[in-house]
Structure 1
Amino acid sequence: MIFVNELASIKNVPQWMKHMPADADAMTFVDAVFPAFLFIVGMSVPFAFNARLLKGDSAKIIWSHTLKRALALIIIGVFMVNAEYGYDAAKMIIAPAFWGLLAYTMPIPIWNKYDKNFPVWLKNTLQYGGMLVLVALYFLYVQDTGEIGMTPKWWGILGLIGWAYLFTVVYYWLVCGKLWAMIAFLVVCVLANAINLTQGAPLQNLPWFNFISGHLTHAALVAAGVVISLLFFDRKVPAKINWAVIGFAILFFVTGYLLRPYYGISKIKGTPSWTMFSAAICTILFYFLYWLMEIKKITKWSNFFMPAAANPLLIYILPGVIYYFCKAFNIHIIPGYFREGVPGIIWSLVFSTIMLFVMKLCNRYKIQLHL
């Protein structure tokens, strides 16, 4: 995600390294990155629930944690989107670049995982102070229509993950994580997505259906992750060849293939073909990683990525902090030569690697975001 986000600002790179246009009926590896996030969220759900139940958490605690996590993702996502566009710079008291810098920075003190020995008064000051700053930023925001306050727009990547997580986890809890029920939920998600994109469908013009089906589009990928996770790990003796997982990978691909003539492949539109092809790709990639790491025990290569794995939300937010800091203070980190073509691609790789080492330092000094 860090690589493709940085690459998005680079000029003159091949189309296969960019998001495909909405009407292209195609997808690149870049269009599969966001679905992979959703798929991973789904794969982690059974582990997270089992861990909390084994710890003895009550239903109230689990529900509370679920709602707080979803709300946090939605809030951060909305602030990120509003920092990008939709404001009237001339009417804002604070410069948009400084507004964006604060919007990206405040989640760090609010949701940081503080050490037990960290002074309580300082922790409360940082957390509640950060919340007050976000509230102030809401009222300092002036839309390009002249209205005060932010609007959700498209919720942002984190916001979409938050909604998809919320829909899926609530359902998972209600059905006690039963495999057949999660498969049924996946089918419902795909059907709702298809109906919402079908011209003349009876439910298409209903705002509540548009809202729900829009988020079920992404919940389909979370549900697919849950299903694959249960097929891999919810059994006493793992199979040497997991035919059920292979079968679902094929089913995802075939479903995407059959729906493509009607809806096309589009990440921007969120078509069912895009979700199903993405689910197939993620399933195949995870099966390969499972074979490589669990069966063949080849794991040392993954140490390079561990700093990000231990702190994924911070490594996603931090490039935005750097971007708005440089914009606010008119700082240019790299020359224009590295903003296009092959040098730009190399810089994107270098930047991603630098961020991994930055995460290593953050982890060492206990700067870790935990929702």
Structure 2
Amino acid sequence: MRYNTLSTNRILSIDALRGITILVMIFVNELAGIRDIPIWMKHMPADADAMSFVDMVFPSFLFIVGMSIPFAINSRLAKGDSFIQLQQHIIFRTLGLLILGFFIVNAEDGYNEDAMGMSINLWALLFFAAVIAIWKVYYTSSKMVVNSIRAISFLLLVVLAFVYKDNNGHAITPQWWGILGLIGWAYLFACIFYQLCKGNVYLLIVAIVLCTGWYIVGSITHTQDASIWHFISSQKGNAAHTSIVLCGMVVSLLFFEENKWATNQRRYIHALLFMVLLLVAGYLLSPYFGISKIYATPTWCLYSAAACTAIYAFLYWLIDRQQIQGWTSFFKPAAANPLLTYIIPDIIYYLTALLGISLFPDSLRYGLPGLLWSAFYAVAVMGIVMLLNKYKIKLQL
């Protein structure tokens, strides 16, 4: 039984927001290595009490995850998934994101190539090869072939985990979960909330308040020091990220739950009220926690979710209401294949490092030349995804 009347079809404006976010992510990640550019094009320092558009990329991903969850759960329930089958799907997706984040983080820093007996570049490329083989969508009716490929690839992941050694000669460990891992935890908790709330908008807003409250309690010094409260403190970041995912859920329901928000005018009014609520709450909490992506403060979460709400409302009006859709075709391949798009820049980085080549001279990695290169690189990666989609290389958790 479905929780609401959401459509099971893909929503073009949500795909456009996802594609735009991915493009901006690739752009700002490449931009991070460019010198002599304005500070608002970089991540703000942890204690700056400020945020740039770069600091909004990660929460935009979380927001889009939230927008997608109600449609995904409804779709699976409409296809006849039982309660157990739905939970299995959620858990497997979460584990997939955690595994990806776990390996990617360990490939970035803290490794000992001599102890590993192989280059970290080769290690990472083997990892990505296994990822593609495991999560690729296969267009064949032979389950034995597909399961064999996935089993061998999973075994490769196990071998890579055993091969890995850190700077102290120790085995691979979760230093932190990485962006994908953090998305995985937030996805899991948000799915739990969505089911407990049965897709009710008002209860989901209460859940946002609870997550924000969890962060606040977890930030109290006594809470951090007392062992009995350590769990609350350790999970405050996940609670903050979950609140953004829940905001995305609310916006999806405000725009697409037909029985409650029957007219476009009511959709926009309720979305505006929700955005104002987020801004006011963020402003009231700002003196106590400041704005910080690194610390995942409530104000950063609420301001980011409010901005995403405004951006999505505009895209909904432009794409779904005004039917100005031609430009979205550029973003469709990445929106339909986000995981592959996410890992392509890493694959390029490790491949070029292994081959000892550079795609762009270091002497030009400054100012306007570096800015133009970053924009070109982001568009080029999107083009690579288009090509891979034509060859039916698609990843799905």
* TM-score interval, normalised by the smaller of the two chains: over 0.9
Kept in 1, the 8 Å contact 2:223–2:233? The answer is no
Match of 1:228 in 2: 251
Q: Which of the residues 43, 47, 55 maps onto 2:79?
A: 55
Query: Take 1:337 and 1:311, find their aligned partners in 2: how far apart are those partners?
Result: 34
Kept in 1, the 8 Å contact 2:34–2:367? The answer is yes
Q: Which of the residues 180, 194, 201 maps onto 1:158?
A: 180
Segment drifting more, 199-208 vs 329-338 = 199-208
Q: Which amino acid in structure 1 is aligned with residue 110 of structure 2?
A: G
Is residue 299 from structure 1 mapped to residue 325 from structure 2 by the alignment? yes
Match of 2:46 in 1: 22
Q: Which of the residues 186, 209, 212 maps onto 1:190?
A: 212
Quote the offset at 1:147 in angstroms: 1.2
Quote the offset at 1:121 in angstroms: 4.7
Match of 1:343 in 2: 369
**1:174-253 superposed matches below 5 A:** 174-201=196-223, 206-236=229-259, 237-241=262-266, 242-253=268-279
Kept in 1, the 8 Å contact 2:190–2:245? The answer is yes
Kept in 1, the 8 Å contact 2:68–2:249? The answer is yes
CA offsets, 1:263-296, max 9 Å, x none? 1100011111100110110000001111111221
Q: Which amino acid in structure 1 is aligned with residue 209 of structure 2?
A: V
Query: Take 2:271 and 2:225, find their aligned partners in 1: how far apart are those partners?
Result: 33
Query: Take 1:43 and 1:182, find their aligned partners in 2: how far apart are those partners?
Result: 13
**1:345-360 superposed matches below 5 A:** 345-360=371-386
RMSD across aligned positions (CA): 1.6
Query: Take 2:224 and 2:157, find their aligned partners in 1: how far apart are those partners?
Result: 40
Query: Take 2:62 and 2:333, find their aligned partners in 1: how far apart are those partners?
Result: 20
Query: Take 1:132 and 1:12, find their aligned partners in 2: how far apart are those partners?
Result: 45
Q: For structure 1, list consecutive stretches of 5 or more residues without a partner in the other structure.
A: none
Q: Which amino acid in structure 2 is aligned with residue 91 of structure 1?
A: A
Match of 1:330 in 2: 356
Query: Take 2:115 and 2:139, find their aligned partners in 1: how far apart are those partners?
Result: 41
Query: Take 1:238 and 1:143, find their aligned partners in 2: how far apart are those partners?
Result: 57
Q: Which amino acid in structure 2 is aligned with residue 200 of structure 1?
A: H
Kept in 2, the 8 Å contact 1:197–1:204? The answer is no
Q: Which of the residues 35, 44, 56 maps onto 1:11?
A: 35
Query: Take 1:32 and 1:328, find their aligned partners in 2: how far apart are those partners?
Result: 32
Q: Which of the residues 232, 243, 264 maps onto 2:290?
A: 264
Q: Which amino acid in structure 2 is aligned with residue 301 of structure 1?
A: W
What is the percent sequence identity of the aligned residues? 45
Quote the offset at 1:54 in angstroms: 1.3
Is residue 98 from structure 1 mapped to residue 122 from structure 2 by the alignment? yes
Q: For structure 2, list consecutive stretches of 5 or more residues without a partner in the other structure.
A: 1-24
Query: Take 2:382 and 2:226, find their aligned partners in 1: how far apart are those partners?
Result: 44
Q: Which amino acid in structure 1 is aligned with residue 159 of structure 2?
A: A
Q: Which amino acid in structure 2 is aligned with residue 254 of structure 1?
A: V
Query: Take 1:238 and 1:186, find their aligned partners in 2: how far apart are those partners?
Result: 25
Q: Which amino acid in structure 2 is aligned with residue 253 of structure 1?
A: L
Is residue 33 from structure 1 mapped to residue 70 from structure 2 by the alignment? no
Match of 2:309 in 1: 283
Normalising by structure 1, report the TM-score.
0.95
Quote the offset at 1:262 in angstroms: 0.8
Quote the offset at 1:315 in angstroms: 0.4
Aligned length: 369
Secondary structure of the 2:134 match is helix
Quote the offset at 1:246 in angstroms: 0.4
Quote the offset at 1:9 in angstroms: 1.9
Q: Which amino acid in structure 1 is aligned with residue 217 of structure 2?
A: I
